[in-house]
């Protein structure tokens, strides 16, 4: 099992505790917090709050990848992300991940101080992305997605979703390493809600341990997702208890990093789930 995850200037030990990645979207249309943090000042205030609530990482996004969303031009994404990165210099100590599929956005963000690139396309959207990440010696999250954000929820289909997602991520890790990215800098994400039905998401959550064979840190992002809302029959703003259940199961099944909107609450959930997990022989000698 992986013992550490390396980013540009940080090395995270993975056996001490589950890492919390706080979400900050500076977009008008993200599914949960779209429009709330568009101004630089309000975005910086939220970033400082995320750190104070106990996050280990901050994930900054300038382009929505919600179902049905369309890509935005590079200059628009840069105009959303770069001023926030500049304003955060010296304001937060935790590493910043930038959620993008564009090499130019990644390059400029890394130059501005970002430490990790969170690529929902797993390096497939932009042929230059791998080279940018490799040269910067940045951390990288490779996520599984069937289709594109615009089409991914039309008719997602799998024969064996857990095995297919695992095989996809194995191939993307191999591609990243072949492109010069050090394997200890790579984490994987099964992509809850990205080209999956509710049943697919639940199967992935229940079978998350299968991804342990990849020997890479496992990142999960079930926070406020539609499968939680579908089970509970509730809107986005009422999905925190359901998110807590998904986070607990994900941690219990071996997640190393949890990407969430409500940092303080989900950190508590992760701590308790990990404390229980660590008493089970399967994990004691992991």
Q: Which of 95, 142, 135, 101 lies closest to 116, judged by CA?
A: 95
Over the range 200-233, which residues count as b (16 or more CB within 10 Å of their CB) and which as e?
A: bbbbbbebbebbbebebbbbbbbbbbbbbbeeee
Tell me if residue 274 falls in helix, strand or coil: helix
Are 169 and 211 within 8 A, CB to CB?
yes
User: Residues with catalytic annotation?
Assistant: 225, 259
Residues 6+ apart with CB under 8 A from 49: none
Cα-based torsion angle of the residue sequence 201, 265, 235, 73 in order, rounded to the nearest 10 degrees: -70
């Amino acid at each position: 099992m992986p013992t550490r995850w390396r980013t540009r200037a940080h090395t995270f030990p993975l056996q001490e505790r589950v890492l919390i990645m706080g979400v900050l979207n500076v977009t008008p249309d993200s599914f949960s917090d779209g429009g709330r943090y568009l101004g630089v000042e309000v975005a910086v205030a939220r970033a400082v709050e995320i750190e104070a609530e106990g996050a280990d990482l901050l994930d900054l996004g300038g382009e929505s990848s919600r179902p049905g969303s369309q890509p935005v031009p590079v200059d628009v994404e840069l105009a959303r992300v770069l001023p926030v990165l500049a304003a955060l210099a010296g304001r937060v100590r935790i590493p910043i991940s930038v959620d993008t599929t564009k090499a130019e956005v990644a390059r400029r963000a890394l130059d501005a101080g970002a430490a990790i690139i969170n690529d929902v396309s797993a390096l497939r959207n932009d042929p230059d992305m791998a080279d940018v990440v490799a040269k910067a010696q940045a951390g990288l999250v490779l996520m599984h997605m069937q289709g594109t954000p615009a089409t991914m929820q039309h008719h997602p289909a799998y024969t064996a979703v857990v095995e297919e997602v695992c095989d996809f991520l194995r191939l993307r890790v191999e591609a990243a390493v072949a492109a010069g990215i050090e394997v200890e800098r790579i984490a994987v994400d099964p992509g809850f809600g990205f080209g999956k039905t509710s049943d697919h998401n639940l199967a992935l959550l229940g079978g998350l341990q299968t991804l342990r064979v990849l020997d890479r840190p496992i990142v999960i992002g079930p926070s406020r997702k539609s499968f939680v809302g579908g089970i509970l029959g509730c809107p986005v703003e009422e999905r925190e208890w359901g998110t807590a259940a998904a986070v607990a199961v994900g941690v219990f099944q071996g997640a190393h990093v949890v990407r969430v909107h409500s940092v303080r609450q989900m950190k508590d959930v992760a701590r308790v789930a990990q404390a229980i997990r660590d008493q089970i022989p399967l994990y004691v000698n992991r």
